[in-house]
Amino acid sequence: MNEAPLVPIRVPGRRLAIFLSGRGTNMTVVLEAARAGHLPVEPALVFSNRPRAAGLETARRFGIPTEVLSHRKFRRRTTYDGKVLEILRRHRVDLICLAGFMRVLSPVIVRAFRHRIVNVHPSLLPAFRGLDVHRKAIEYGVRWHGATVHLVDEGLDTGPILLQATVPVLPGDTPESLAARVLPAEHRILPEAIRLLVEGRVSLRGRVAVIAPEPGRRPDLR
The phi and psi torsions of 186 (rounded to 5 degrees) equal: -60, -45
| C-beta separation of 150 from 124 below 8 A | no
Other Cβ atoms closer than 10 A to 11: 19
Q: Is 121 a residue of the active site? A: yes
Contacts 24+ apart (CB under 8 A), 67-72: 67/91, 71/103
If we measure between CA atoms, which residue out of 12, 17, 51, 11 comes closest to residue 119? 17
Question: Out of 121, 145, 150, 187, which one is annotated catalytic?
Answer: 121
Catalytic sites, residue numbers: 121
